[in-house]
Structure 1
């Protein structure tokens, strides 16, 4: 670009020099027709070249350094030129209406979604998402998070009605026949206990004590004393052990009447348990006291720290973004694309934000141009303008000399014959 600039300047100077030299060289041949013709052409070309040189130079500086009026137009009118340029850019080239017109043609949502879809598979985006999510998890302060979680957990536990919980529990117990299973378990354990020798001795000792301490009168007292003398603790224990084991075996049978009676009574008590308002009130009060007394903030924090560590391990895995993040983003994008109403709302919102930004900041375009122009002193600014448009201006000088030459030829011919 600089070489072309210098070439055009040299060419303009050469054209002017050629015209001047040609004019001087044709003076001796002024008497001949061809001499007058060429002299007229060179003379007109010299005048045209000098006039255009003066005009071009007068834009940027005083020709030959002489302060001729109405020269050095740009330096002397810098403020006016700056204002005109700023106003032209702001009010004619980049008007609010023209910018808004172009903006209204842009489908932001469609373009953004396309960009997101095309970028999702790239390793840089994968790494960025991984880092972003990882840093977000690391930023979670479990120490600050534990107390509000404890408060919410206690609030929820306090709000739970014990009656509804117990009702669900009793229904589940009866549905799964846990009452029968519990009875069978008790009978089984009782049978194991009754079969032990130490149990037999304990039963015999208690039976003997019962006989000896029983108060009676008359014949009944005589009968009890006689029976006590006939049996010892071992025999009484054997009798009671056999009795208990027989009863356990009988009650363990599913068709046993006593078993059915016990189970019916048990089911009745279990079913009516939630309806006992006084008991439910006591349980709720006890539950509230227990909940208020719980100190689980430390346990919650430990759980959160453990969960945080496990989550970070998953996030740092090679397939985390591909398996967990990208599908979520793709489903979200598909849901937006499938909903024309949502896309329209998003577009309207985005365009409104852009329009508002243009309304608020359009005047800054002119100020920005002015600020950038004001950064340069006059000499530097003029030099920049001359370097950028100088090539075309130099061609004006060349064209002036060439056109003047041909016009001079025409005028000389006209003068000669007319």
Structure 2
């Protein structure tokens, strides 16, 4: 810009010099019609060039430093010019209405989502979102979160009614034949206990003690004493043990009547529990006591710490962004873009906030321009204006000299003719 302005200024100066040299060169020539015409043309061109030089120079400074009135117009009228510029900016060029009209015809969401769709694949966004995710996970305070989780968990467990689950449990016991399996387990335990020698001697000893403690008179007392003399603890224990083992074996037979009767009785007892309010009341009270006495905060704290550590390790995996974050963002943006109502709402929200911001800060536009211009001293401001518009102004000087020369030729020619 400075080079262009300098070239045009040199051209204007050269045109003025040409007119002056031409005028001086025609003075010593012998009188003739051509001398008169060309001398008049160069004279008019010189006058026009000097007049335009004076006019252009007077805008920015005093010509030749002479304090001529109505010169150095820009330095003398700095505040007035700045005020006019700001007034034009606020009231003519950048009015609130014109800005609102421009904003109304612009689709911000289309531009925003176009940029987002392009940038989400960049490494910078990948690193930023991954780092943000890790930062958010690290910020989770498990010590503060654990009591909240414990409270919510206990509240949820207390809200569960045993009545909704006991019938399901009983149905599953019957369906999966847990009652038969429990009976078989009990029979196996009793069988293992009955086969032990210690059991045999214990049962025999208990039976002998019972016989000896029976109080009867007469013949029955003589018979019992005779029986106790014939049978010792081992024999009596073996008899009782064999009776128990035979009874256990009979209950192992799935078609045994006693087994079937016992299972039917168990099943009826289980079914009766479904409608036993006392059982439900006791179970609910027992459940409430267990939940109240359950100290789960420490375990929950450990669990949350492990989950947080696992989450950090998961985020640091190379494919985390491409496989999880990026598809999530794409799906969300796709759903949002396809929803016309949401897009219109978002567009209206953006425009309303921008419009509100402009309404509140429109006056600051001119104030900002004034503040920036006030930072410049008068010399710098004049230099900037002259630099930016100097080319056209210098062409005024060139045009003044050339037009003056041509007009002078015409005028002198007309004068010579008449």
Matching residue of 2:198: 198
Q: Name which of structure 1's ranges 326-335 and 97-106 shifts more when overlaid on structure 2.
A: 97-106
Q: What are the residue-to-residue correspondences of 1:341-352 with 2, within 5 Å?
A: 341-352=341-352
1:7 equivalent to 2:7? Answer yes
Tell me by how many angstroms 1:87 deviates: 1.7
TM-superposed deviation, 1:313 = 0.6
Matched, 1:237 2:223: no
* Shift, 1:396, TM fit: 0.7
TM-score normalised per structure 2: 0.94
Q: CA deviation at 1:231?
A: 1.2
- 2:35 corresponds to 1:31: no
- 1:370 and 1:152 mapped to 2: Cα distance? 60
Residues 367/221 of structure 1: CA separation in 2 closer, same or farther (3 Å cut): farther
- In structure 2, the partner of 1:72 is 72
Counterpart CA distance in 1 for 2:378 and 2:218 is 143
Answer with 404-413 or 226-235: which moved more. Answer: 226-235
Aligned counterpart, 2:126: 126
Q: Is 1:21 aligned with 2:21?
A: yes
Q: Does 1:405 align with 2:405?
A: yes
Contact persistence 1:75–1:382 (CA under 8 A):
yes
Q: Does 1:166 align with 2:158?
A: no
TM-score computed with the length of structure 1 as normaliser: 0.94
Return the alpha-carbon distance in structure 2 between the equivalents of residues 266 and 220 of structure 1: 41
Shift in Å at residue 281 of structure 1?
2.8
CA shift at 1:219, angstroms? 4.7
Distance in 1 separating the partners of 2:128 and 2:75: 53
Deviation at 1:174, TM superposition (A): 2.2
The question of whether the paired residues in 2 share the 8 Å contact of 1:29 and 1:36 is answered with no
Separation in 1, partners of 2:181, 2:111: 67
Q: CA deviation at 1:299?
A: 1.7
Give, in whole Å, the separation in 1 of the partners of 2:350 and 2:97. Answer: 17
Could you say what secondary structure the match of 2:413 adopts? helix
**2:288 match:** 288
Distance in structure 1 (CA, Å) of the matches to 2:323 and 2:153: 32
State the number of aligned residues: 418
2:374 aligns with 374
User: CA 1:414–1:218 in 2, change beyond 3 Å: closer, same or farther?
Assistant: farther
Residues 373 and 381 of structure 1 are in contact (CA less than 8 Å); yes or no, is this contact kept in structure 2? yes
Measured at CA, do residues 215 and 100 of structure 1 come closer, stay the same or move farther in structure 2, by a change above 3 Å? farther
Per-residue deviation, 1:244: 1.1
